Every structure is written in C-alpha cells, then in structure tokens.
Chains A and B, each alone.
Chain A
Amino acid sequence: MSIDKDTVKHISKLARISLDDKKIANLSKDLSSIMKFIEKLNELNTDKTSPLTSIINASLKSRSDEIRDGKIRDQILKNSPETNKEFFVVPKVIE
C-alpha cells in the first residue's frame, strides 16, 4: 500500500510530529517504499499460525506491595525544561 500525503499528515498528527510540505512529500515517498517492502509478508498464509506473544517462555514476575520509592522531587524535576520547583510547567492545555 502506498502512503499518500494525507495519510502522512494523519499519522504525523497521531504521532505529534509537525511536518512541512516538503517533508510530507519526502516521507510519502520513503514510507511507501518501506511499506512496499513490508508487503512481502502478504505472500505468506498465516491463517493457522498463532501470533508470538512473548519470546520468553515464562509468566510475568511480580513484586510485593512495598513502598521503596518517592520523595525524590528534586530528581524528578531536575531535567525538566520548565518547572516551578513543585510542578512540571507546560503550555496551556486546551480541552
């Protein structure tokens, strides 16, 4: 399946990446050739194959319900581009 410019626009919106028209055109070309490559899989009949769920043959391990973290606000906020020392600060959310 080829990926036209509208599709590129749509998925870039989902992926939250802004693109100018030139980028959109280039990506449409690149992504289409990648998808064409991927579509080789259509040769294979997989109706009777069950999908791989995990390459490790084990059940999920769990931990016990103990508090071993928290109270590290300085570390949490240290790398943020903008904080007020208590909160992360971001441009206004429009709901």
Chain B
Amino acid sequence: MTAKKFDYLINGDKSKWEVIIGLEVHAQVLSKSKLFSPSPTKFGAEPNTQVSLVDTAFPGMLPVINQFCIEQSIKTGLGLKAKINLNSVFDRKNYFYADLPQGYQISQYKNPIVGEGEIVLDMPYGTKKVGIERLHLEQDAGKSIHDIDPDNSYVDLNRSGVALMEIVSKPDLRSPEEVNVYVKKLRSIMRYLGTCDGNMQEGSLRADVNVSVRKVGDKKFGTRCEIKNVNSIRFMQLAIEYEARRQVELLESDKKVNQETRLFDTKKNATRSMRSKEEAHDYRYFPDPDLLPLKLEQSLVDKLKKELPELPDEKKERFIKEHNLSPYEANILVSEKEISDYYEEVIKKCDKKLATNWITVELFALLNKKNLSILQSPVSARNLSKLIKMITSGKISGKIAKDVFVKMQVDDKDAEQIVEKEGLIQQSDPKELEKIITKVISNNKDKVEQYKSGKEKLFGFFVGQIMKASEGKANPQLVNEILRNKLK
C-alpha cells in the first residue's frame, strides 16, 4: 500500500485553512453505583428511580467517594500512558441548571487525578501521536426533557451523580477523520481496560469539540469555539466540517470569531450559539469543603499497573511479530478486544494467514450485513477454525468452503458435519480425476485442436468443464497438473 498524504484543508475564497481540533471526551465510568452516592447507574430505568437523597441535593446530604471509580480512572490513566497524580482535589463548579440539583458539579479543576499522556493513531499517512492534557473525575448531571410539554421542562435525575472521566486532548487533531480514529482508539483502550463501555447511544461517551482554524503556515492558533455534548462520531465530524467552514467564512470576510459555546443541531447539521451558557460563564471553582484532598498510595498505582491487561498497541506489536501480520491487518484485528480474542481463538488450530483473510473479509462482511458485533457472530471461532483447517488440509476447496460458511451461519452448524453430510469432500484421487478429464477431452475434440494450434486461453474452459462435471469437488491443483499433461 502506498502512503497517502494528509490533505484535509479548507479551501476558502482567499486562502487555504488548517483546522485545529481538541476534544473533551466525557466517558462514563463502568461502575455499579454513582461517584458520590450508593444509588445505581443502570441505563434506561424509570425516571427518578436511580436516585438517592444525595443525588437530589437534599439539605444536609454529603458526598462519599466510590473507591472503584477512583481505581477505574487510575487504570484509564495508565492505559493512556499518563502521569497519575498522587495528590488531587475535588472542586465545585458552580452554575444553575434544572438538572444540576446541587447548583454545582463536583469536578476536578486545578489538580486532576491524571496528568499528561498520549494516544497513538494509525492514519493512512503514518502514525500520529495525540497528546492527552489530563483526565479528571466528575459527576454527571441529570436530564431535562423539553419536548413533552410546551410550557414546562421535565427533570429526571437518574444520571445525576454518575461518575464521568473527562479526558481532555491537546489541540493536536487536524481533521474529522483523525477525530474519528482518535475517539475509536480511546474507546477501544477503555473497553480493553473495562473502565467504560463506550456505548454512545446510551450516552456513555460524549464529547465537547473545540474547533478553530488558521491559515496554512500560521503558527498561532485562532479563536476557538466549543461545541457541547456531541454524542456520535458522525455528528462530531459533521459539526467540525460545518464549524470550520463557518469560521473560515467569517475570517475571510474580515469578521471575528467569537469565543463561545455552541450547540450542534442534528436536524440542520449546523452549529448555533448557546446563549444560556454565555451569560453566566463564571463557574467560581473552589475546593469542595465536603471532601478532603484525595491522596493515593504509590503502591495502589503499582498494583493496578501490574494488573493492566494487554492493550491494543502492545497487542498489535505482538500480532505483527508472532503471527506475521501486516500492520494494516494487525490494526483491524486489535481494534476491538473481542475481535482480537476471536482471532486468537480461531488460529489456535489453523493457518494464521488464511484465518486473517477469512475474518477480515468473509466474517466482517457477514457481520456488517447483519449489523452484528463480533460477540453476536453467528459463526463461532471454533467452528470457523474447523472450516479453515479443512481448506488447508485439502479436504475441501476454497470455493466449497464459501458455501459451507453460508450454511454454518444457521445455528452455528458444525463445518465438518456439513461437509460430511453433503459429501462436499474434495476429489483428490488422480485416477478418478483422470477419468473425468479424459471424458471432457473426448467430448470436446474441436476445442483440443484449437488449443494445440495456439489458442491457450481455452485451458480455462477445460478446467471449468471438469469442475462442473465433478460438482465443484475436484482438487483444482491436481486438475491443472493432469490436464496440462493430457493436452501436451
């Protein structure tokens, strides 16, 4: 594969513009109970049933932190190769909103639990490192519902107090595609770690997207806008494209970009200013006096580090070395932990190269078509392994294998049984094959003449006739050999 060059620039009327993007990803910590209260975090429950007195901010209620959430954020920090801060502080971020019962969010401002780290992206034009600025723990807000009643809003506090990790990138991203790869990579790392399920439909992963533009060649960043709470990668990409163009148009007509918070309208595919946020943009952060500073023991960090599973980057290196995969193939196979698990199960008993092909081509096509995840695959890893083994041992042909694969998709039917039952075993007995070939040659004497007088393309015709006569079971390699001899 030839390396593509990076080419995402906005062509304005006057100049070319580079797009600068930074992400603040909010990832829900995978935990049973909330960050500061023991009520459940389950998604999709009846409104206001996953709520405690603490989550509702009743007078006199106090926060008590969830140890598991602390450890989850340390693990995530370690997965991002980041510095773990042994001393961190919880602050209050003060603002009024219907779904923020305390009138403040408990977050971490000056002293987050995790400091600088990085994520490596594999782009078609090479690897790219994206800096992580920080990761901090904070509470989620509840949910306001505005479209049930024309005069009122409805408030559900089920999410109120759920633990979030806010993962802030440096402004290192340069295109919607890089954002796509970044979010997927981050999600993959957290899923390997088991710290966030990454489910964007359920809001477990959202991002605030910071966008600015500058003329190609400029060193200084332009004024940025923050697009709040975008909950799908596609919307992030659309929002960036729209916002970058909007800013270029402003700047090329000698107007200024205002630093502001914007909202992505998914119906219009456009961003718009969010005035309610602007008017009171003074969060009055200060250390939460209900909580003491969080001091971590280095021994806890060390312990969690030891327990860390193999992460995508390491696994990729290993796959390339151990299984002789190309970086491209390895990337695909490690992109999700479940895929890599599936792959490793398949290759326990069959050829690795062939397995790679079967998984990335046939299996992925099937999953895509049926919109299934690898965990929902109709064909189990063990069964696929059997199928591939039959190909390499010459028991069935690759062509037959594709038919068998279709049949396996119903109830994960055993590959070997299908082959036995339907008599699909490859014909590899030279004597039997000779019989078929002799018959085909004698039935097509005119074609043999033409072939011998130089029309060599007809070779394929004979092969086709032989395969047809053998109902596709003839071993193609043997057929080639015998036929060539016969036609001499």
Determine whether A and B are in direct contact in the complex, meaning some CB atoms lie less than 8 angstroms apart. Answer: yes
B365 at the interface (CB under 8 A from A): no
| Interface-central residue, A64, A65, A72, A94, by most chain B CB under 10 Å | A65
Give chain A's interface secondary structure class. Answer: loop
B263 near A95 (CB under 8 angstroms)? yes
Let me know if A38 is at the binding interface, CB within 8 A. Answer: no
Closest to A77 in B: B48
| Contact (Cβ within 8 A) B156 A70 | no
Q: Which A residues lie within 8 Å of B52 (CB)?
A: 69-70, 72
A56 to B64, CA, bound (A): 16
- For B210, what are the chain A residues with a Cβ–Cβ distance below 8 Å? none
Are A60 and B295 in contact, with the CB atoms below 8 A? yes
Q: Quick check: which of A1-9, A19-27, A42-50, A82-90 contacts chain B, the rest being far away?
A: A82-90
Chain A contact residue count (CB 8 A cutoff) = 36
Q: Which residue of A lies closest to B282 (CB)?
A: A14
Contact B293 A62 (CB under 8 A): no
Q: Using Cβ atoms and an 8 Å threshold, which residues of chain B touch A60?
A: 65, 291-295
- Among B37-45, B122-130, B212-220, B355-363, the one that faces the other chain is B37-45
- A69 touches which one: B37, B144, B145, B274 (CB < 8 A)? B37
Q: A-B contact count, CB below 8 Å?
A: 133
> Which residues in window 63-92 of B have CB below 8 A to A?
64-70, 89
Instruction: Say how far A59's CB is from chain B's closest CB, in angstroms.
Output: 4
B46 touches A86 (CB 8 A): yes
Q: How many residues of B contact A (CB 8 A)?
A: 53
Q: What's the nearest-Cβ distance from chain A to residue B100, in Å?
A: 12
Q: Does A91 make an interface contact (CB < 8 A)? A: yes
Check A70 against B292 for contact (C-beta < 8 Å).
no
Name A62's closest neighbour in chain B (CB-CB).
Answer: B67
Inter-chain contact B39/A70, CB cutoff 8 Å: yes
Residues of B within 8 A of A16 (CB): 96
Name the residue among A66, A67, A89, A90 with the largest chain B CB count within 10 angstroms.
A67
B64 engages A67 (CB within 8 Å): no
Q: Is B146 an interface residue (CB 8 A)?
A: yes
- Residues in A neighbouring B32, C-beta threshold 8 A: 65-67
Contact B65 A63 (CB under 8 A): yes
Interface centre among A69, A70, A76 (most CB of B within 10 A): A70
Chain B at the A interface: mostly helix, strand, loop or mixed? loop
A13 at interface by CB-CB < 8 Å: yes
**C-alpha gap A62/B33 in the complex (Å):** 13
Q: Which of A16, A62, A84, A94 has the most CB atoms of chain B within a 10 A radius of its CB? A: A62
Q: Which of B48, B89, B152, B279 interacts with A76 by CB under 8 Å?
A: B48
- Interface readout for B291-304 with A: 1 if CB under 8 Å, 0 if not? 11111000000000
CB distance from A24 to the nearest CB of B (A): 18
B153 to chain A, nearest CB (A): 5
Across the interface, do B153 and A92 meet the contact criterion of CB distance under 8 Å?
Answer: yes
B308 within 8 A of A: no
How far is it, in angstroms, between the C-alpha of A68 and the C-alpha of B37 when the chains are bound?
A: 9
Q: Decide: B284 and A14 in contact? CB cutoff 8 A.
A: yes
- Give Cα A75–Cα B55 distance, bound, in whole angstroms: 12
- Within the assembled complex, what's the spacing in Å between the Cα atoms of A94 and B280? 14
Interface string of B151-172 (1 = CB under 8 A from A): 1111111000000000000000
Chain A residues contacting B292 (CB-CB under 8 Å) are: 54, 56, 58-61
Contact across chains for B154 and A69 when beta carbons are under 8 A apart: no
Is B487 part of the contact surface with A, judged by Cβ < 8 Å?
A: no
Do residues A87 and B96 form an inter-chain contact, with CB atoms below 8 A? no
Contact of A59 with B294 at beta-carbon distance under 8 Å, contacts A72-B52, A77-B48, A87-B48 already known: yes
A71 in the interface (beta carbon within 8 A): yes
Inside 8 A of A92's CB, which chain B residues have their CB? Answer: 146, 150-153
0/1 string, B24-39, CB within 8 A of A gives 1: 0000000111000111
Closest residue to B65 on the A side, CB-wise? A62
A41 within 8 A of B: no
User: Chain B residues with Cβ under 8 A from A63's Cβ?
Assistant: 38, 64-67
The 9 closest A-B pairs by CB, nearest first: A65-B68, A87-B154, A69-B52, A62-B67, A59-B295, A68-B38, A88-B155, A70-B39, A69-B39
18 additional contacts (CB under 8 A) given A67-B40, A87-B154, A95-B274: A14-B284, A16-B96, A59-B293, A61-B64, A61-B65, A62-B65, A66-B33, A68-B33, A68-B38, A69-B33, A69-B37, A69-B38, A72-B51, A72-B52, A90-B144, A93-B98, A93-B146, A95-B276
17 CB contacts below 8 A, A to B, read A14-B284, A54-B293, A59-B294, A62-B64, A62-B66, A65-B33, A66-B38, A70-B51, A70-B52, A72-B51, A72-B52, A87-B154, A88-B98, A89-B154, A91-B151, A92-B146, A93-B276
Which residues of chain B have a CB within 8 Å of any CB of chain A?
31-33, 37-40, 46-54, 56, 64-70, 89, 96-98, 144-146, 149-157, 263, 274, 276, 279-280, 282, 284, 287, 291-295
